[in-house]
Amino acid sequence: MEIILIRHGESEANRINYPEYKMFTGQWECHVTSEGLKKAEVLKSLDELKDVEICFASDLIRTKETAQAIFPSKIIQLDKRLRER
């Protein structure tokens, strides 16, 4: 068994979180930006991800959107225990 970890794409919170704000956005619900989705789409074509059978993601919107962009036809198992703490 091989485990591959992928971080969610750029989120709306990431975009506004400039160093001077230092905002912690761990469990704040926000969408992935169009740029974040574009980068996730690039990952979809990687050979390393072709044999993935199941994807685990937190239940937050940004992780669901990223997982669906990378694995549109795969099972995505959502689990809130995978949220940042």
**Is residue 8 annotated as involved in ligand binding?**
yes
Q: How many CB atoms are located within 10 Å of the residue 11 CB?
A: 23
**Is residue 62 annotated as involved in ligand binding?**
yes
**Is residue 66 annotated as involved in ligand binding?**
no
Percent of the chain with pLDDT over 70: 88
Residue type, position 29, single letter: E
pLDDT band of residue 23 (cuts 50, 70, 90) is: low
Percent of the chain with pLDDT over 90: 66
CA distance 32 to 62: 5
